[in-house]
Structure 1
Amino acid sequence: MLTPETIETLFTRDDGSFQFARWGRPVVPIVFGVEDETLSVVKGAFEAVMALAGHKMAETDPELGANCMVFFFRDWEELLAVPDLDRLIPDLAALVARLVGAGANQYRAFRFDEAGAIRAAFVFVRMDAQMAAQPAETLALAQVVQVMLLWSEAAFRAQSPLALAGDATILRPEIAGLIRAAYDPILPGAARDASHALRLYARMERPQ
């Protein structure tokens, strides 16, 4: 079971600041770089996690068209050839160079509305050997979970948000409970005060 202190660390950035945000509008995902079979798996993961959170998906975003873009590719340099991506991701060339240098296999960028809630997200997954070895369902679920909230950079470095239940990969129950609590309509869509962790904790279901 998560404690208030553990919840706080999940939203504490590397610079020490607390920053919580959830989606403030219906999510409209679009996926690039996969076959139709995998596309249905990714969209199914979105639908399952949205249902868990009690949040909505939509066919189109009136401002952006699609507001959650997911890219799968082999090499970071491929992003430099995507039309207009440099308009969505500032300093794209410098970012790609940094990710190549770090040997990264995933990266997420968020945009926020005036209230601080998530208004758009960009998910980049480089299909290296580690990523390619994962079942499509596992890979898709992990990426969707990590885009549902503005987790800290270190949130899942030590432990995945997923777990095995027999032969199936599932969302860890405590992470599922935290996502459900985070989308409680009583709570604000964004918070910068660490006391928000206590509010999240108070809304999590306790095991019987």
Structure 2
Amino acid sequence: MQEGSDSLYSREQVIQPGDQLLIRNLQNEALISGIGGQNNLQQMNAQSNTGYRVETDGMVLLPVIGKVKLAGMSRLTAQEHLNQLYRTQLLQNPIITLIISNLQVTFLGEFGRQGNYFLNKDQIHLAQMLGEAGGLNNRANKRRLKIIRGNLNQPEVFIVNLEDINSLSDRRLMLRNNDIVYAEPRPAFQFLDRINPSTSFLGLGLSVLNVYLLISNLSR
């Protein structure tokens, strides 16, 4: 398994252009400063519940404080940055929370439940998400679980052996946004999957014919 760049294997989710952010104000309305006023706070809460998109330039348009560049920041860094900005311009003791709502991974292959799953925490280990996906079925090759990461034109692909307990400590198993986790079938099932009823009967017929021709040639 090859190591990639630090950004690919960092444990913190980093905000990117195109991300959707859920930003909420949890502060008591009694703590509003004179800068914003009651109406502005209500407007901020209403818009926060619908989410904010990170534009291609990395900026996010927010109530009262206007455009703020959040792309490139971790979720916690961006959350603290917004708390500081709102503390300066609107709230005395703000409690601003930020969630990146579009983070997801895809599970394909021999899982109980294939599909897309949201990453609802900053750090989620592969083992945790395996449970969400219904675990591996009895066809799965537990020694060759693949994680496909990064640009799909030149992805980082590494193999996880779930039967090796030491492999679970690999930091690359902290899942990233848009990771694809693929569980391939065991070799025996791969062989069976390549044989359908029509080809199996045809193959059997050809085998019988070959044996008959061989015996006929030897008996001459």
TM range (shorter): under 0.3
Bigger CA radius of gyration: 2
TM-score after normalising by structure 2: 0.21
Structure number with greater CO (CA < 8 Å, separation at least 6) is 1
Q: Of Structure 1 and Structure 2, which has the larger fraction of its residues in strand?
A: 2
